[in-house]
Structure formats: C-alpha cells, structure tokens
Amino acid sequence: MIATPATEFATDGRRIGPVLMDLRNITLRFGGVVAIKDISFDIREGEIRAIIGPNGAGKSSMLNVISGFYVPQEGEIWFEGKKRPPMKPYEVARLGLARTFQNIALFDGMSVLDNIMTGRLNRMKAPLWSQAIWWGRAEREEVENREQVEKIIDFLEIQNIRKTPVGRLPYGLKKRVELARALAAEPRILLLDEPMAGMNVEEKEDMCRFILDLNDEFGTTIALIEHDMGVVMDLSDRVVVMDYGRKIGDGTPDEVRANPEVISAYLGVSQE
C-alpha cells in the first residue's frame, strides 16, 4: 500500500491533516440487494469530504455504515489508525462521530436549548443519583455543559429562539438546531446527511457559511451528503461519487467535474 502523506493542503491553502478514517472494500447487502459494492475511500483530518451520487446510489447507506447504524458484510473501517470492530451507534458516538439526519430527528416538545443539551449526554459522567438531586459533580457538569451549548447557540446565531419549543420552528431553523445538537458532542468527524435539503436560497447560504466557518475556524472534519452540486463543488476539498452502490469517481471537485463516468451518471453535462 502506498503511504498517505501526513499533511496536504486544500486548494485555498488550508492545512489538511493525516487520514482520520479509512474505509476499505466496504460491501453492504440487504438480502439479495447490494447497496454498497467494494468501496474504499478515506476522510482526512480537517477536510470537507463530500459523498455524492444519484438517488439510490447508496450514499445514505454509506453514512449509516460510518455511523454504526449498518454493519457491512465485508470490508474494514479504520479510525485514528486502529481497526474499528462492529459497534452500536452509541459506541461510535463515543468514539467521536456525530451526525445530522436527512429527516429531522428532534424532540418537538422540548426547547431549542434542551434539544442541544441532549448532544452532551456522552459528556455527562456523574452517577444517576447525583443527577436526580442535581448535586455535586452533576451540578458542576450541568454548568459546564450549558456553557458549551451557549457558545454553540451564539455561533449558529439562534440566541432569540433558545427557549422556543422546536415544534414551533420553521424547517430551516430546525435544520440549524439539529446541527447545533451534533456540534454539542464535540465530534472528531461531523456527518451531515443532506444539510441543505428543503431549504430556500437564503437558508442554504447561511448553512454553507456555518459549515465553512466550522471547518476553517475550528478545524472540524466534515463528511456530507448533498444533492446541490453547486454547494458540493464550492464547499468540498474532495468528493467521492457513487452510482448503484459502486464508486465511480474520487478526487477534487475539478477532477470530479472532468470525470466522464461522473458526467454521464450524475452531472449530465460537462462542467466547463
């Protein structure tokens, strides 16, 4: 195997670190249906890595493999240089992966603040009895976790809705709250499943800005699925392209644009 350079640079000069996650020859089947067929790619520390492809290409299945919702029949997942055994989603979350969902999964009856606080559950170590009476270590943890959540609320500019029940919010703000909850876990890799889906132009611009700021200012490693090709090409450092469960392209946005198989399967026309 060819050694991967420890450090690379994005097209805009940002530093990209070593391989953080390496997916090797992943195959996933549902009965006789092959959702993912022998796909390999990696995610480097500090990059924005996009996974694209037509509907039914296997993108969400791949994200579910990464986050532990699906266990592939073949292949290996390496994280921080160690082979990852089959894990439940909560165990993967403890490793340092957090995600948003294509279909928003929030607690509608709870406030924005309380929804985001659920992202801190893996950070709460106080025993249950201490949490029940809010005393000692539990009290200190609550204060510390709320401080972190308030920073995220400020970053995502949702201060004015922090006490609003999520069920009352418009779709675009719900997407932002779901991003906030994922960020509350302080992930090593942030997985975004169609973060722009259903948004208007203004909401997409805001979400793009937050994603870029997360990556640029905080060095957050991001892997995302997105159908909006303009968004993908503007945001991503590298793009892996899937079609009918196969990988048909992998490289920089410019390399993907010029790939004839990608053009035929997904883009439809050459991108000059």
User: Which CATH number fits the domain that encloses residue 111?
Assistant: 3.40.50.300
The pLDDT value given to residue 44: 96
Question: In sequence order, what E strands does the chain have?
Answer: 8-9, 15-16, 19-30, 33-44, 48-52, 74-79, 82-84, 97-99, 189-193, 221-225, 238-243, 246-251
The pLDDT value given to residue 1: 30
The pLDDT value given to residue 39: 96
- Structural domain including 1 reads 1-96+189-272
206 class by beta-carbon count within 10 Å (0-12 exposed, 13-18 middle, 19+ buried): middle
The reply to whether the predicted model has a pTM over 0.85 is: no
The pLDDT value given to residue 129: 38
- Kindly state whether residues 181 and 196 are assigned to the same domain: no
- Kindly state whether residues 86 and 197 are assigned to the same domain: yes
**Domain count for the chain:** 2
The pLDDT value given to residue 267: 54
- Kindly state whether residues 182 and 193 are assigned to the same domain: no
Helices (H), strands (E): how many in the chain?
Answer: 10, 12
The Cα–Cα gap between 162 and 158 comes to 6
Stretches in the chain below the pLDDT threshold 70:
1-16, 122-140, 266-272
Q: Which residues contact 102 (CB under 8 A, 6 or more apart)?
A: 60, 193, 194, 197, 225
Token representation of residue 268:
């439809």
Q: Which residues contact 172 (CB under 8 A, 6 or more apart)?
A: 199, 200, 203, 206
- Kindly state whether residues 161 and 87 are assigned to the same domain: no
* Other CB atoms within 10 A of residue 218 CB: 11
Helix, strand or coil for residue 198?
Answer: coil
- Kindly state whether residues 167 and 223 are assigned to the same domain: no
- Kindly state whether residues 139 and 221 are assigned to the same domain: no
